[in-house]
Structure 1
Amino acid sequence: MAGGRAGVAELRGPRLLNKAVKLSGADLKAALAREARTLGFDCIGVTDPEAIAPAGKHFYEFLEAGAHGDMDWLAASPERRTDPRGLWPGVRSVIMLGVNYGPDENPLHILEKRSCGAISAYAQGDDYHDVIKKRLKALARWLVAMSGDEVKVFVDTAAVMEKPLAQAAGLGWQGKHTNLVSREFGSWLFLGAIYTASDLPRDEADDDHCGSCRACQDICPTAAFPAPYQLDARRCISYLTIENKGPIPHEFRKAIGNRIYGCDDCLAVCPWNKFAQEGRETKLAARAELRAPELSQLARLDDGAFRALFAKSPVKRIGRDRFIRNVLIAIGNSGDALLAHEAERLLDDASALVRGAAVWALSQLVEREKFKSLAAGAMGAEADFSVREEWRRA
């Protein structure tokens, strides 16, 4: 799962001041690819703005089924997503770029460390939006200087269907988990796009190489894939722990385990990942403190400490309260009775979202009689209806 709501960088430039020859066509594309590699991109391809028309049909079906959940920004002006010209009528070519962020260890291993929190691999380092956008802007400035044509830059922050465009540009294919899969980098590619008014030679679209494999579907803890190539975001742990602003639905709490931000299961199990380690950029390396943070320490984060720990991290965008909600679900799933006091301490938190999750975590860790005693003392003083319901249900 990935998503964004706003933001586009638009670049214009002089028409080749002090340049005697203007590159065009195949020569411009070849030079562009060389410059992209120099800037840290691992792959590049070009496609036609009309290339993703078939993907638009599937996107509308996704919306009509309500599978996008509360991500209303996906349903806003869908015509701008399904046709790049709806976002910018002047686009003549779409340049798709990828950066490999393949982790240096199996993300599934931390799921066995129940007293630690599992943060999705892409969020263990600096925010990829910032890292990739800097590279995109640098490449776009180069392209403007070489072509004199207008460009626009996107990285998961506007109405762009990156994955269908990336497949059309030959970077990979959309796998059965709906994410892009590359024969070179597996399921670990950050994507960025440059829309340009330049007319560049197109690359051939990649073919589907999933075959009969269904590993990504079978491993999903919450059965978020109703069929191959279909995702119900409402059941996806990435959606539940990141986009979902309310309590985690009860039916998914046990399945979430110790995943406190996102979920890598369907990506990590992809057999194409064996090719994903080459060319990994050090700027996207994980921070040591985010590889396997202890739940006991995370549960004690106030707003200031949360912001400090996750400075420059995409995790910061969900805010302290939603994050602590996730930590408490993981505490409840830890089986570690020593963590019960962390949940009990948060029964008095200022956030009703946190208090409700603390109730559930306690109900999983303490003996029934103690829990009933805590409930008797807390329910009378609890002003929030949703938290009282957590007590009653537990």
Structure 2
Amino acid sequence: MIRPLSRTALALDIVGAGVLFLLLTPLSLAFYGPSTGSLAVQGAAAAAVIGAGLLMFGGVAIGRLSPALALIAAWLGAVLQMLAGFGPLPIDLAILLVLYATSAWGSRTVLWWGFGSALFGGLVAAVFLVVVSGASFGTGTGWDQLTAGTLLLALSILALGFAWVCGLLWRVVLRARRTRSAQLQAESLAAEEQERVRIARDMHDIVAHSLAVVIAQADGARYAAAVKPEMATEALGTIAQTARGALSDVRLLLTQLRHRQGDGPQPTLADLETLFAQVRQAGIEPRITVDPTPPGEPPGAIQLAVYRILQEALTNAIRHGDGAVDVHLAWLPDRVEIQVRNAVGSASSQPSGGHGVIGMRERAQLVGGTLQAEREGAQFVVRATLPIGEGA
């Protein structure tokens, strides 16, 4: 019965209804009020018009707040007007405004009650004008009265129905706006979620790989310190260098997250040798095969995907591997195939899932490729196929 409405909107509706009441009620009394009869009769007629106007424009004032109550008030005002013997008056503009409100802001039930009121109200108005007011054409015979009634019925329904249809159109516009707003909000949330996933993926690739190298170097330095101090010093230098690089990458990602800037510099194929060097320093010797070599300059997205997939696969080899790791890249005219194999011990917990594998799979899917990561006997194998197109 009561819709949520701001105080400002309610105040504007009340003021607007009051202004219309003050303008149209004197016109109704001046041009349509009785000019003959006793003062008591004239006073009663004026009171009826004023009362009907108060009811009708009271409905206009609460049209957006409660369309159902507004429709009831309009019907009461119309009935009071007909009981007083008045035909159409300027104050009847309020009925059109209330019908507009029922279809524009009313519930589904109120919407159809407004439609029924437009049809039934048109019928009542036509019958009242013909039977009570005596409206007719020609000599006033039965046929003339039927013709006049039919014409008045059509005009009444058209007038009332036009107001109801206008409100229905505005209802459609409001619903379209809400739908568009919800769509834009959903798209914004989806874009934000994709951005969070991208940054989380980059953070995982950078931090996991760097920590794996640091842990391997720290373990090696601890055992080498008692035998070859110079190896411990070299390991500490590698740890410092790896940590600085990771810190720089993390700061770049945090800057993107805070200021919504562009992607910034991303790794390319030229950075693979640095990646392989870090793996060697961690005690894992990668055996690298590139056959065939890239026929040209691959797209930047493909280079980034190849780098991140290899970085995560080699990180897993450092953390869970047992010995060397085989890396094979095949740059075919329309795709690049990646295969990374590393031996795992019988008690190793080489993961077949987790954030690392999920991140590699997402990297492949982002460029339209596929990735599989699974254990095959004593080896853990990562296979990826990334399309690069004929023009790469």
TM-score, with length taken from structure 2: 0.21
Q: Highest relative contact order (Cα 8 Å, sep 6+), 1 or 2?
A: 1
Could you say which structure has the larger radius of gyration?
2
TM norm structure 1 = 0.21
